[in-house]
Structure 1
Amino acid sequence: MAVDATQPYDDQNIFAKILHGEIRSRKVFEDEHTLVFHDIAPWAPTHLLVIPKGAYVSWDDFSEKASDAEIASFVRVTGKVAREAGLVESGYRLIANTGLDSHAEVPHLHVHILAGRQLGPMLVRNDSRR
């Protein structure tokens, strides 16, 4: 089920439950503002999720309301985790879905870090733009 990014934050979403310690995760990194953990249903050999600890529904919500410290942590931790996992040389993909058209599934901002194999094209090209 896709998430409407204009809806208020749902503090019962799965990532909120992970942050509150109600659901366990395989943690990779944590600081004051950001948590990184392994996805339970990986799409690639390396599939990590980076989430801010604040209650943000989407990238838009986060970029508008988060503190500078939260934003810096989120961005820097994403790069740090990719470097420390050895993903830079072979490459990796970052995905952040927002809203119904993107098929976002969890109403908490998160970035997927995918790596470890050829990932293929992101989208099928729409020839109507020609």
Structure 2
Amino acid sequence: MECLFCKIVDQEIPATIIYENEDVMAFKDINPEAPVHLLVIPKKHIPSFAHLTQEDNEVLMPKIFVAIQHLAREFELEEEGFRVVNNCGTNGGQTVGHIHFHLMGGRRMVWPPG
């Protein structure tokens, strides 16, 4: 498989892994846009948000959001705030074909993002 994030999950490509369990992995973004910028992914390959199945929505997505909440607490982002972003498809800004969520914090976020 040519998926960059699957290669990180399989430890074929190095990453600074911050969190990992059976279903979810989080690692530092290599081009951070904030002092805290993590990518949170399912270990299961899912091309994008548009490709989620009913089972993914019921079982996997809650695990991802629990991980994001845990990481926000771990990095002490709750009080000042943080942003969770999912880019879906080319026009949505998705550059890696594996669903992922950006957890960003540690600075003031602006809107619109761009």
Pairing 1:72–2:45 present = no
Is 1:22 aligned to residue 12 of structure 2? yes
Deviation, structure 1 residue 70: 2.0
Deviation by residue 1:6-52 (Cα, 9 ceiling, x = unmatched)? xxxxx312101101111111111100100011011101111000000
Kindly indicate whether residue 13 of structure 2 is the aligned counterpart of residue 40 of structure 1: no
TM-score by length of 1: 0.80
- Matching residue of 1:62: 52
Structure 1 runs of 4+ with >4 Å offset? none
> Relative to structure 2, which stretch is displaced further, 61-70 or 47-56?
61-70
Q: Distance between the aligned counterparts of 1:118 and 1:43, measured in 2?
A: 11
Partner of residue 8, structure 1: none
| Match 2:71 to one of 78, 81, 93 | 81
Counterpart Cα distance in 2 of 1:123 and 1:51: 21
What are the ranges of 5 or more consecutive residues in structure 2 without an aligned counterpart? Answer: none
User: Which structure has the higher relative contact order (CA within 8 Å, separation 6+)?
Assistant: 1
1:67 Cα shift? 6.7
Where structure 1 has 5 or more consecutive residues not aligned to the other structure, the ranges are: 1-10, 125-130
How high is the TM-score relative to the length of structure 2?
A: 0.91
CA distance in 2, matches of 1:63, 1:28: 27
- Rg bigger for which structure? 1
Aligned length: 114
RMSD across aligned positions (CA): 1.6
Out of 107, 110, 121, which is 2:97 matched to?
107
Cα distance in structure 2, aligned partners of 1:123 and 1:21: 32
Compute the displacement of 1:64 (Å). 3.5
SS of the residue 1:22 aligns to = coil
